[in-house]
Structure 1
Amino acid sequence: MRTALTGGDILVSGFWHKGATLLFEDGKTVAILKAGESFEADHTTDIKGHKLVPGFVDVQVNGGGGALLNDDLTVDGVRTIAEAHRPYGTTSMLPTLISDDLAIVGKAIAVVDQALKEGVPGIAGIHIEGPCLSREKKGIHDETKFRAVDDAFIEVLERFKNGAVVVTVAPEQATPEMVARMAGSGMRVCLGHTNATYEAAMDCIRAGATGFTHLHNAMSPLTSRAPGVVGAALDTRTTFAGIIADGFHVHPASLRAALYAKGADHMMLVTDAMPCVGAKDKNFILQGKAIMVVDGMATGPDGTLAGSDLDMAAAVRNAVSMMGVPLDTAVRMASMSPARFLGLENEIGDIRPGLKADYVLLDAKNRARKVWTNGVAHDGIAFEG
């Protein structure tokens, strides 16, 4: 069935098409027509002057809807997380496993791979954040799980067959040779939770690392004579950096500085979301620690930030207000840039013919009013009947 969305402004490859009409069929975008251009469709929806943008792509999602991937390693658990984030505009995500035993890593690989086989909507791959991290920059992670990258670790990751694999490692735990091996296997290697030097980070980049996990957080900072991992991120325009724009993790000035250095094409808005997103009960347990969420900030017993209560629509709004960018630039960081990082730019992250029919209809306050995944419509968090 061919469906038309008409009467609004559509963001196509970074440019607004005013009053345009979008046609999709069989889960794919078919055409974008100019205002007033005639069309034929089986069903037409008037989007009433609202803004239609590409579905958001989140490469770091620990949980949602009360489920945490580490604790709910089932296809239904993965589905719960995806469904919790969908009303906020996330149409593609990487369920993210934080540092755990290798057996748990293996189980997560198997479960998310099975979710992809079964066609669970919204799943694009998996992100393994740890356990090959630095104790000096552990954040909320359980350091008793930490280990070095070795053959056994890589062999477990190589079992994943049906989507993108992102793995976050610290240079202290991963030799350039191991980074090269993971990158050579098609994995997206990110540097994070690390106190490494600029030089060590650059060695990993030359070996094939292409990303940085939650820039500025849990990594050696940029100083005058020791650029650190932050300096390596800002100094390499071809690498991608995820960043948490929730007002707690990164100061607005640091958000803007990162954008100036890397450009929107290589910045990715991420949530680092925990089970609290989309859940009535905001507090939760993380590997034995009681996590409290107060005024949108998730912290452990000692005050350490513990992921976030952030959703992607809020991240886009925060990028507009905190980074001072127009909506199209904020959406680029939430859709096109992460899709390119994952190598999925010919499937998701944009509105153009042949790509998945993944869209978000934003209201005047840039809240998700309606969300389409593979052409299937869902009510957004700001839906008004």
Structure 2
Amino acid sequence: MKTYLTQHLFDGVQMHRNMHLQVDEGLIVAILPASTSPLEADESLDGLVCAGFIDTQVNGGGGVLFNHEPSFQSLQTMMRGHTKFGTTTMLPTLITDSGTIMQKAATAVKQAIETSLPGIAGMHFEGPHLSLAKKGIHPSEHVRSISDVDLMTFTRSDIGKVMITIAPENVPPDIITDLVKHGVVVSLGHSAASFDLVQGAIEAGAIGFTHLFNAMSGLTAREPGMIASALTDPRIFAGLIADLHHVHPINCKLAYHCIGPSRLMLVTDAMAHVGSDMQSLPWLDSTITKVGNKLVLEDGSIAGSCLDMAGAVKNMFDLLSAGLPDDQPNDVLSEVLNMASQVPANMLSLSDRGELKPGNRADFVLLNDDLQVKACWIDGKVVFDHLT
């Protein structure tokens, strides 16, 4: 059992000052005002303590791309690459690939779940049932209609939370409904579908949109498209890559104002570069190169990101708080922190994390005044420490 004295603490609802945070056996036991607490602090944390970040779209990290090396060791490396940026839960994400690679990736996640590898909650299959017209960097030779073998993979009970990104023109509503009945989180993306087709997929049980604005049918005068559906339907969640390259800052603001901070979540779409010194990565018949804080193919098109969750929080906070009166930025910070923790937890029905309260997992992050990560805990254990 350990008790921390926190200078500032955001519990997911309210900002607090000078609180005792007590953890035991991986869980939060108590959060009490230090002025009236009977507890004695073992350690002081100077900065802001908040719930650990949850990233639902992580293609790689620490120099490893999951598609290239779909193994348990890769998952360990990816977690190490992301915990230094505050990620305490992730869904390792497989970009469209062959059935063989899908099975290897699922086996790796199964091993992670069985051994309780800290931070791995399940798996995100981004494809292969996408639209060729909106495939992005996904290899066209593996884009295909859904099969019984794919369904068996998605509905496995030994790989934790399963999220899939599909194009509704490639997966009929009855299959979406069946997937949802098996506990699969269905998200829509890489799609040229009409507004009506998208709405049909939502009626069938889809609850998410993958990397909003990117690789999806746009909003026009007489065809609202997928973007309009995402911005107007109160039943859905939407992931946003807030690296300010994938999505124009004004569109980030538009998503915030239309969808709101309770359903808009921050994602990284991180490639192997995050948490490493990697500059270039082979991809199909091209190379993904880091140019500044953007990843591009040889033709200049964007290919995933080198964004981390702390960076996403910082970008979104700076964007939304610019020009606000002095008494309002704290409210914006609370909302942005929840976009990185509570919202994805709610989307994935991970009721034991995403906010700090007794009984929840002791997954938390310590941030400095610039929203950089000073330390990170998973299950009450320090997994990254930049305090010394």
* In the alignment, structure 1 residue 23 sits paired with structure 2 residue 28: no
Which of the numbers 131, 156, 159 marks the counterpart of 2:153?
156
Deviations along 1:176-216, one digit per CA (max 9) or x if unpaired, are 11111111110000000001000000000000000000000
Equivalent pair of 1:87/1:368 in contact (CA under 8 Å): yes
Alignment partners' CA distance in 2, 1:243 and 1:217: 9
Does the residue aligned with 2:169 lie in a helix, a strand or coil? helix
Structure 2 gaps of 5+ residues are: 322-328
Equivalent pair of 1:109/1:160 in contact (CA under 8 Å): no
Does the residue aligned with 1:17 lie in a helix, a strand or coil? strand
Does the residue aligned with 1:281 lie in a helix, a strand or coil? coil
Equivalent pair of 1:12/1:350 in contact (CA under 8 Å): yes
Does the residue aligned with 1:264 lie in a helix, a strand or coil? coil
Deviations along 1:144-181, one digit per CA (max 9) or x if unpaired, are 11001232211121224241100000012101111111
Equivalent pair of 1:169/1:193 in contact (CA under 8 Å): yes
Which of the numbers 62, 66, 72 marks the counterpart of 2:59?
62
- In the TM superposition, 1:195-344 aligns within 5 A as 195-324=192-321, 326-344=332-350
Distance apart, 1:19 and its partner CA: 1.2
State the partner residue of 1:115.
Answer: 112
Distance apart, 1:288 and its partner CA: 4.0
Alignment partners' CA distance in 2, 1:323 and 1:152: 44
Does the residue aligned with 1:301 lie in a helix, a strand or coil? coil
Distance apart, 1:106 and its partner CA: 1.6
Letter in 2 for 1:84: G
Structure 1 gaps of 5+ residues are: none
Equivalent pair of 2:57/2:268 in contact (CA under 8 Å): yes
Alignment partners' CA distance in 2, 1:323 and 1:226: 29
Letter in 1 for 2:363: D
- In the TM superposition, 1:345-364 aligns within 5 A as 346-364=351-369
Alignment partners' CA distance in 1, 2:78 and 2:285: 20
Alignment partners' CA distance in 2, 1:246 and 1:292: 16
Does the residue aligned with 1:20 lie in a helix, a strand or coil? strand
Letter in 2 for 1:378: V
State the partner residue of 1:5.
Answer: 4
Equivalent pair of 2:173/2:204 in contact (CA under 8 Å): yes
Letter in 1 for 2:89: S
Distance apart, 1:218 and its partner CA: 0.3
Alignment partners' CA distance in 1, 2:164 and 2:17: 40
Alignment partners' CA distance in 2, 1:245 and 1:38: 39
Letter in 2 for 1:27: G
Alignment partners' CA distance in 1, 2:38 and 2:164: 45
Alignment partners' CA distance in 1, 2:279 and 2:80: 17
Alignment partners' CA distance in 1, 2:33 and 2:179: 45
Deviates more, 1:266-275 or 1:278-287: 278-287
Deviates more, 1:243-252 or 1:148-157: 148-157
Alignment partners' CA distance in 2, 1:198 and 1:323: 29
- In the TM superposition, 1:91-130 aligns within 5 A as 91-130=88-127
Q: For this pair of structures, how many residues does the alignment match?
A: 379
Distance 1:160 1:289, change over 3 A: farther
Alignment partners' CA distance in 1, 2:299 and 2:25: 50
After superposing on structure 2, the runs of 4+ consecutive aligned residues of structure 1 that deviate more than 6 Å are none
Aligned residues with identical type, % of pairs: 38
State the partner residue of 1:193.
Answer: 190
Alignment partners' CA distance in 2, 1:204 and 1:196: 10
Equivalent pair of 1:176/1:207 in contact (CA under 8 Å): yes
Letter in 2 for 1:23: Q
Does the residue aligned with 1:265 lie in a helix, a strand or coil? coil
State the partner residue of 1:38.
Answer: 37
Distance apart, 1:136 and its partner CA: 0.8
Equivalent pair of 1:188/1:210 in contact (CA under 8 Å): yes
Alignment partners' CA distance in 2, 1:339 and 1:181: 22
Alignment partners' CA distance in 1, 2:6 and 2:338: 22
Distance 1:108 1:379, change over 3 A: closer
Does the residue aligned with 2:290 lie in a helix, a strand or coil? strand
* In the alignment, structure 1 residue 375 sits paired with structure 2 residue 380: yes
Distance apart, 1:365 and its partner CA: 0.6
Alignment partners' CA distance in 2, 1:166 and 1:88: 23
Alignment partners' CA distance in 2, 1:206 and 1:16: 37
Letter in 2 for 1:358: D
Equivalent pair of 1:125/1:163 in contact (CA under 8 Å): yes
Alignment partners' CA distance in 1, 2:155 and 2:149: 10
* In the alignment, structure 1 residue 173 sits paired with structure 2 residue 170: yes
Alignment partners' CA distance in 1, 2:42 and 2:159: 34
Distance 1:195 1:114, change over 3 A: same
Does the residue aligned with 1:257 lie in a helix, a strand or coil? helix
Compute the RMSD of aligned alpha carbons. Answer: 1.2
Alignment partners' CA distance in 2, 1:117 and 1:125: 11
Equivalent pair of 1:29/1:356 in contact (CA under 8 Å): yes
